Structure 1
Amino acid sequence: MKIVAPIASVEEAEALARAGAREFYCGFVPDEWIGRFRAVNANRRPSGNFRDHAELHRAVDVAHRRGGSISLVLNAQTYTDEQIAATITIAESFLKIGGDSLIVSDLGLVGELFQHVPLSRIHVSSVATCRNGSAARLCKELGASRMILPRDVTIGEACEIAAEVPGIEIEAFILNDGCVFEEGACATLHLPQNLGGPICLDNHTPHYRRRGSGKLDGPALDRLRDNDEEYRKWLWYRFSCGFTTNAAGMPFGPCGLCALPLLLRGGIAAVKIAGREAPTARKLASVRMVKAVLDRAEAGEDDECIMQFAQALRPSEQHCRTGYMCYYPEVLGH
């Protein structure tokens, strides 16, 4: 099983490779894209991208020197006809310098790329919301070599897809960056906090009134307020526990570490650490955590012992008990 880690610099590639990552993914938004389209976003993230061709080339060299591979993310919500042409140029350039694969969300773009690059180099992004065996068969027929599952696919569903459709690799999320809605159905950007932040992190204050006439108070109002408080708590967990870390720098936030033994036995080929725009320290701590747990799973250690080890890494027992922080809450009986 491969650990797939995000990078935004050559230095990160070196550091994460030393920590145990062997597969990397990155975004690339060159100056010519920004100058031509007046947009900093070509892949759903306005930050955390490479900007320089030479630096991207060096990152590819680092990944290969470390015995790994590197993928380029091309998963914007939409591309104009002009942007599709520019995207194909970027894709061709990336593969020409030795890049290994392209992470693509729009199956229409896959069709356009068909005329220019080997489709065996395509990984279908989680943003394509492919979540069953039929979708996996379609991706395989299109020539893709990997399908990345959306965040809310269960362990059982993921393993069933892997067994049902051999010949295409299945990748699942393992750490960081939850999404309140179905990411592939999201038509917004995650703006910086000073511009309002993610639209789904809406900090409005609700006011309730009874339909028709009469005053809303007592137990009904208390239940509504309790529900609002639980929703705010769920949002906090979904958004990486406020992007907090423990004293050792280990990040809290959406996590699937306890599920690693089941994913490994179920034939999942790779597990993804999210967060291209995250600080290097967070990425590094994430790789170390996944590597430590995966090593135990691959050595055949008991699942319960692995779960205890994983939860004690940060430590995160109190967060784990809620089930809100878990990508795969079924391992906790939730």
Structure 2
Amino acid sequence: MKLTVGLGSVDEYIRFSEAGADEFFCGYVPYSWTQKYDTMMPLNRREVLCSNVQLGAFSELEILSSMIRDYQRPVHLTFNSLFYLPEQYPEIAKIMKACMCLGFQSYIIADPALILYLREHNIDCEIHLSGETGEVNSRMVDFFQQFSLKRVIFHRKNNFDDMKAVIDAEKSHGGLRSRTEFEAFVLNEMCQFAGAFCNSFHCDELGHLCRVSYWLEPLRESCGDSSLRQLHPSPPAASPQTSLPHTPDLPDGYLCGATGCGLCALYRLREIGITHLKLVGRGNYNDYMEQDIRILRRALTLLEQSTSEEDFKDTLRRTLFSYKCSKVCYYL
């Protein structure tokens, strides 16, 4: 399995490559787009200017393309909005053509209409179906394969059985489809929302909804009528259960997987046919990201040396989690 890492700036590319990243994904939003559409019509749902979350200048892409030639770690560009205005599709196509001239051939796309537009206009790029697209099942992937997908990215809420069913269905078709790549989340940014159903603007001006404290309670019967169920939105008076993990008081403030971890699931992910692991972290502290990459690379080494799932989990816990486990699991 290969390690796909979020890239927030050009400066991180060499550092993260040397730490063990196999490839990257990053956003590119030209300032001309920001001037014209502001944050209300985002290009990739990361309209952030005050920190290193995406690239904003074509010159940065030029620098990055030269680094890619040296380090041979590909970068996939994200166009992750769920939809665009009709007049925006030609603009996006123009941006992508300019990027392709620099060697950027693969794009993470969520909007089905954009995928259709690109194919109808003979833009021969590699398409990674974004996890932001929505529910992923074998019939959905079967439909999108008319556009020749290079990779399917599972969203945060898919379980092992869901992913295995999709992968098995693709392999059963044979040919090029049997070589479709599959990517799953493994570290950071676990969220109560599936991307397709998140209505938050990820921008400088507004707080992200995923950072707002919330409580979870089971639905339960009300008034003795099993057909009537109510949700209690108010947290209990004692020991409220917030879903947002807080980083423990460790010496350097770092805890691997503090906001989402799937390391213990690596054995199962490999068994069901996952080919790429997503390490999210655009805008995260560079030191933390580097540690994440090194730990995940070490975990993959332990996976190769393990004889069984239990052997892998036991070695992982003793070797990498002897200090602390975040207990914020992507895959229970």
TM-score strictly above 0.5: yes
Equivalent AA in structure 1 for residue 271 of structure 2: R
Alignment of 1:130-209 (within 5 A): 130-166=135-171, 167=177, 168-192=180-204, 197-203=207-213
- Report how far residue 160 of structure 1 moved: 2.8
Provide the alpha-carbon RMSD of the alignment.
2.9
Equivalent AA in structure 2 for residue 35 of structure 1: Q
Contact conserved, 1:92 with 1:116, CA < 8 A, in 2?
no
- Report how far residue 100 of structure 1 moved: 2.9
Question: Are 2:8 and 1:8 aligned?
Answer: yes
Aligned to 1:286: 292
Aligned to 2:326: 319
Alignment of 1:1-334 (within 5 A): 1-39=1-39, 41-47=42-48, 48-114=53-119, 115-119=121-125, 121-166=126-171, 167=177, 168-192=180-204, 197-203=207-213, 225=236, 229-230=240-241, 232=242, 235-237=243-245, 241=246, 247=252, 249-251=254-256, 252-311=258-317, 313=320, 315=322, 317=324, 319-320=326-327, 325-329=328-332
Structure 1 residues 314 and 29: CA distance shift in structure 2, 3 A: farther
Aligned to 1:332: none
Supply the distance in 1 between the matched residues of 2:135 and 2:281 (Cα, whole angstroms).
20
Supply the distance in 2 between the matched residues of 1:35 and 1:311 (Cα, whole angstroms).
49
Supply the distance in 2 between the matched residues of 1:301 and 1:11 (Cα, whole angstroms).
39
Supply the distance in 2 between the matched residues of 1:326 and 1:54 (Cα, whole angstroms).
39
Identical-residue share of aligned pairs (%): 24
**Structure 2 stretches lacking a partner, 5+ long:** 172-176, 216-221, 224-231
**Structure 1 stretches lacking a partner, 5+ long:** 206-210, 213-220, 330-334
Supply the distance in 1 between the matched residues of 2:213 and 2:331 (Cα, whole angstroms).
27
- Report how far residue 22 of structure 1 moved: 1.4
Structure 1 residues 72 and 204: CA distance shift in structure 2, 3 A: closer
Supply the distance in 2 between the matched residues of 1:244 and 1:279 (Cα, whole angstroms).
17
Equivalent AA in structure 2 for residue 268 of structure 1: I
- Report how far residue 165 of structure 1 moved: 0.7
Supply the distance in 2 between the matched residues of 1:248 and 1:84 (Cα, whole angstroms).
43
Equivalent AA in structure 2 for residue 84 of structure 1: Y
Supply the distance in 1 between the matched residues of 2:59 and 2:207 (Cα, whole angstroms).
32
Equivalent AA in structure 2 for residue 261 of structure 1: Y
Aligned to 1:216: none
Supply the distance in 2 between the matched residues of 1:243 and 1:37 (Cα, whole angstroms).
40
- Report how far residue 228 of structure 1 moved: 7.5
- Report how far residue 199 of structure 1 moved: 2.5
> SS state of the match for residue 276, structure 1?
coil
Per-residue deviation, residues 84-111 of structure 1 (Å, max 9, x unmatched): 2221111111111001300000111100
Per-residue deviation, residues 187-239 of structure 1 (Å, max 9, x unmatched): 221355xx55222444589xxxxx99xxxxxxxx9x96169712x1xx213xx
TM-score by length of 2: 0.81
Structure 1 segments (4+ residues) deviating >4 Å:
242-246, 314-318
> SS state of the match for residue 141, structure 1?
helix
- Report how far residue 316 of structure 1 moved: 6.3
